[in-house]
């Protein structure tokens, strides 16, 4: 069966994310991958998954190379690898555009997949680099869809959600709001199901 979706998860590890919040993101991803509906969707679509961590200027790295979800053991292996991921960067600014540009360049090994999706999460707007608009245009030209999780303070307005909606996601993309990092696992599960169960366009 052919791969339906290549899904790259781009995780914010900038200075606004402390050590506890980093572990909440990692555990949130592991929890989402353990969900029965998510696993069913991953296997049904023979999905390929990769993880990027990003922060400030020239601080982006592929921390989990592409993994094909072809059987339950593949998912179990990926969960263990995700839970063991070290933090790549610490204490820097928020270069959203560079994160998108770096992520867009990672899809060559999964060129057989029908859809290419960047799944970016973050808790702040771009404050260095100022490349988010051309980076989004480059992603669109490469036929990559960008979706987002906007991590808002629990009692705050939706400033981060609005930033991602206006400047980051592509026309076919969407934003899910997480009310604090404690809400991240719920938001990520919702977003994964929406991405993976949605018919390919």
For the chain, the domains span 5-197
Question: Which SS3 state, helix, strand or coil, does residue 30 take?
Answer: helix
First to last CA, the chain: 18
Q: What is the pLDDT of residue 71?
A: 95
**Beta pairing partners, 60:** 54
Q: What is the DSSP string of 174-199?
A: -EEEEESGGGHHHHHHHHHHHHHHSP
- d(CA 184, CA 177) in angstroms, rounded, equals 9
DSSP 3-state helix, strand, coil percentages of the chain (rounded to 5)? 45, 25, 35
Q: What is the pLDDT of residue 154?
A: 64
Structure tokens at 31: 């929890």
Match 């260095």 to its residue by tokens: 128
- d(CA 30, CA 18) in angstroms, rounded, equals 19
Containing 93, the helix (H) or strand (E) segment is none
Q: What is the pLDDT of residue 200?
A: 45
Q: Which residues of the chain have pLDDT under 70?
A: 1, 154-158, 198-201
Q: What is the pLDDT of residue 43?
A: 96
Beta carbons of 25 and 11 less than 8 angstroms apart: yes
Q: What is the pLDDT of residue 201?
A: 43
pLDDT digits (tens, 9 = 90+) for 153-174: 766 566 889 999 999 999 989 9
What strands, in cross-sheet order, belong to the sheet with 115-122?
60-68, 48-54, 5-12, 115-122, 144-152, 175-179
Q: How do 115-122 and 5-12 pair as beta strands? A: parallel
Selected from 3.30.530.20, 3.30.1360.20, 3.40.50.410, 2.60.40.10, the CATH number assigned to the domain covering 5-197 reads: 3.40.50.410
């Amino acid at each position: 069966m052919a791969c339906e979706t290549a899904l790259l998860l781009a995780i914010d590890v900038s200075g606004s994310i402390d050590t506890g919040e980093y572990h909440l993101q990692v555990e949130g991803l592991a929890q989402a991958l353990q969900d029965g509906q998510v696993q069913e969707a991953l296997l049904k679509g023979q999905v390929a998954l990769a993880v990027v961590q990003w922060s400030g200027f020239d601080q982006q790295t592929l921390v989990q190379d592409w993994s094909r979800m072809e059987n339950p053991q593949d998912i179990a292996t990926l969960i263990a690898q995700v839970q063991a991921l070290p933090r790549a960067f610490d204490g820097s600014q928020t270069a959203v555009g560079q994160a998108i540009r770096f992520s867009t360049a990672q899809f060559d090994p999964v060129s057989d997949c029908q859809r290419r999706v960047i799944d970016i999460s973050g808790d702040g707007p771009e404050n260095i680099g100022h490349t988010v608009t051309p980076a989004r245009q480059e992603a669109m030209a490469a036929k990559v869809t960008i979706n987002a999780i906007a991590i808002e303070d629990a009692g705050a307005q939706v400033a981060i959600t609005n930033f991602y909606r206006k400047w980051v996601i592509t026309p076919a993309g969407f934003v899910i709001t997480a009310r604090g990092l404690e809400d991240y696992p719920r938001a990520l599960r919702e977003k994964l199901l929406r991405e993976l169960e949605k018919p390919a366009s």
